[in-house]
């Protein structure tokens, strides 16, 4: 299983939100590249980079941060946050992303999202499935849709999606453990899905549990920044 640290960007800085609330923002580092290098130095190979300004503006904003990290590290970067147009996706890939994540676009304009899947292939496109009360949430988690999570995942899996980042919003930033039962249920229904768990990871024990469930990756953010999981522990894992 891959460890995937998260760097969330607002105003070019490394921040974390609690449950997606922009009012509950904490700046952890003024320089995201410094943070990315610290991950690479302990053997981390992947990075989940989120343009929170872009998520709010519905267009790519922090491509310069992506380009800087991609140019100065060898990290495999998946990039998301506000990608809504073909131009956004082109900019993200040209700036150095190896994969892009689409969430709201997959709900509101599925034909656009599926055109990206057809153009770039299943290895490049990740479906972002943010869930609240069993339903899909969109627009930076500000809006709950009527779409039921499992039906949503099954539909996109049939259409060729292989990679999914699933975030239980109720867990995100709370440092109270991940949604293990949810991930177990998803993988029971879709055993060949490359499922990347996100939200709530608070200890290495959580990471071990996600590996045992069969998750392909675990995104870790606040637990690292708050010192709940050390870089040394991640290196050993």
- pLDDT score, position 171: 67
- pLDDT score, position 169: 81
The CA distance from 81 to 50, in Å, is 5
Task: Give the other-Cβ count within 10 Å of 187's Cβ.
Answer: 16
> How far is residue 118 from each of residues 112, 114, 161, measured CA to CA in Å?
10, 6, 10
- pLDDT score, position 17: 78
> What is the DSSP-derived secondary structure letter of residue 180?
H
Torsion of CA 190, 229, 8, 87, to 10 degrees: -40
**CATH code at 46?**
3.20.20.70
The CA distance from 214 to 8, in Å, is 26
Total domains present in the chain: 1
Helix (H, G, I), strand (E, B) or coil at 176: coil
Helix (H, G, I), strand (E, B) or coil at 227: coil
Give residue 32's domain range. 2-236
- pLDDT score, position 36: 98
pLDDT along the chain (237 residues), means of 10: 95 83 83 97 96 92 98 98 95 98 93 98 97 78 75 97 92 73 96 95 94 97 92 87
- pLDDT score, position 173: 58
Torsion of CA 196, 58, 99, 44, to 10 degrees: -60
Question: Could you give the residue numbers annotated as active site?
Answer: 8, 130
> What is the DSSP-derived secondary structure letter of residue 92?
H
Helix (H, G, I), strand (E, B) or coil at 50: strand
């Amino acid at each position: 299983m891959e460890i995937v640290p998260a760097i969330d960007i607002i105003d070019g800085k490394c921040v974390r939100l609690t449950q997606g609330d922009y009012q509950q923002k904490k700046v952890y580092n003024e320089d995201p590249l410094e943070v990315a290098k610290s991950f690479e130095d302990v053997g981390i190979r992947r990075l989940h980079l989120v343009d929170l300004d872009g998520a709010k503006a519905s267009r790519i904003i922090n491509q310069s941060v992506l380009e800087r990290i991609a140019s100065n590290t060898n990290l495999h970067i998946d990039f998301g946050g506000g990608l809504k147009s073909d131009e956004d996706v082109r900019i993200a890939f040209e700036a150095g992303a190896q994969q892009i994540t689409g969430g709201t676009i997959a709900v509101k304009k599925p034909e656009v999202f599926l055109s990206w899947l057809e153009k770039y292939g299943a290895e490049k496109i990740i479906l972002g499935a943010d869930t609240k009360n069993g339903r899909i949430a969109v627009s930076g988690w500000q809006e709950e849709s009527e779409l039921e999570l499992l039906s949503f995942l099954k539909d996109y899996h049939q259409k060729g999606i292989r990679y999914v980042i699933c975030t239980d919003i109720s867990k995100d930033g709370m440092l109270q453990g991940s949604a293990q039962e949810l991930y177990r249920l998803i993988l029971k229904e879709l055993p060949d899905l490359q499922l990347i768990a996100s939200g709530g990871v608070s200890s290495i024990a959580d990471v071990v549990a996600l590996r045992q469930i069969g998750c392909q990756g675990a995104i870790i953010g606040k637990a690292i920044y708050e010192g709940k999981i050390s870089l040394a522990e991640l290196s050993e894992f």
